[in-house]
Structures are given as structure tokens and as C-alpha cells.
Structure 1
């Protein structure tokens, strides 16, 4: 019988299924369902931030914070470029496409790395905009 906290992933470490779900939602937010992916991720964070195992909390926190700050960076930078160069300038479109491509691609690659870390039961901190990582004690494997 499965509980509401069973994410359908066999866990080697406590909270590994939730950690994988968090990083998968981060990538879904970037690639497939922007906005909706973030809302689901934020709901998981709010629900499990005080009750989940440390591995899951770490990945939920990282994915949620980076989704929020990454979104603000992209929207803010794009707004700044349009406000500075205007929407009709060719150079504004070059800057917009270049900036969006570089930042978005970087977030996708980092999200893939984070998913790999979650799948292997390891903590992860997104560089620059990720909150400080918690050093977890050695975890006992679960069956």
C-alpha cells in the first residue's frame, strides 16, 4: 500500500524519492510546464519543508529557491534590455536571445546535474544563486 509521500521511486536514502521529484519539477518548470511546474514545486516545499528527511529538504529548498531567483533574473534582465535598447532595435533582440539562451541553458544543465545528484542520494547546491547547502551525516541505506 502506498502513502501520499510515496513518489514511486525505490529509495536507497531517506527522502530520495522526494528529492528526485523536486529536481524533476525544476526541469519541468524550465522545459515543459513553466509556471505550473514552479507552483507544484513550491507546494511540495511548503508541505514537506518541516517534515521531510534532510536529503529531500535540501533538494526541495535548492530547486524552489533557484526556480524563483532564476525566473526573476531572466525576467529582470530581459526587462532591463528592452527598457535600455528598446523593442525595435536589432541589438536588443540579439541581446535578448543571447541572454535567454545562455541563462536558460545553464539552468537546464545545472538542473540535470542536480537530478543526477538526487538520484544518487547526494546533496547539491546550485552555484551562485542556490542557498547554502547543508552537510548531511552519512545516511543509512533503507530497503
Structure 2
């Protein structure tokens, strides 16, 4: 039975990493679900107050990584809120329309369209903002990968 329980917990962590590629999947939820399932299947004794505080801090970092990097990357390239919203929509819609390429192209196109239509920028300026959005997405994905790995690693050290 232990193998089944560990398989389910590992599945939760795997789905969390898939959520980095398909942002519609709530990665944070699956990581926490993995922790809770461990407690239900085995014991919650390993999870001290300090464990939950540390995981909570990482959880907040994980939740804010996308927003902070997206706003920073777009603002740094002269983009507006329209580009931020466009990039976010592109990130959510892109994977469904263009599969894996949509993850990369979606934020770029969303930011370009947002700037062009609502920000009243030239195409050259909108593309510059789109590139900033793309770099922001890639850097936030890298940061979230590291944060999730640390959270799961700390879990395994704790249990």
C-alpha cells in the first residue's frame, strides 16, 4: 500500500511541474495536496509549525513570481497595463490553441496585441514589449521551477 500512496504523492508533484508548462494547472495546489496526502496516508507529525511557515513563504514567492516578473519585464520595455493583461491572457489561452508552442508564443502575442490595440503603440514598440513579456515568462518559469524543487526537496528532508 505504501507504494500506491507514494505514487499518488509523486503524481501530485509531477502535475505541479506540468503546471509550469500549462499555467491553467494550479501548481501550488498540487504541491500542497501532495503534502496533505502524505499526512493523510502516513502522518502529519513531521509537519511542524516551522515546516508550514517555510512552505508558506515559498508558496507566496511561487504565487507572486509570475506577476512580478511579468510586470517588471513589460514595464522595463515601456509597456502598459494592456500589455500585462494581454500577456496574461496569451499565457492562459496560448497552450490550448498552439499546444507547447502556445506557452512561448502566447505571452508574446498577447503583449503585442494588448499594446497595439489598447496601448496605441507602433508595431515596433509593441514587439519590443512582447519580447520583454517573453523573457519575463521564461525567467519566471525558471524561478518557479527552482522554488517548487526547493519546496519538494524540503518536504523530503522533513519526512
Please tell me the TM-score bracket, short chain as reference: 0.3 to 0.5
Bigger helix share: 2
Larger Rg belongs to:
2
Q: TM-score, normalised by structure 2?
A: 0.42
Q: TM-score, normalised by structure 1?
A: 0.46
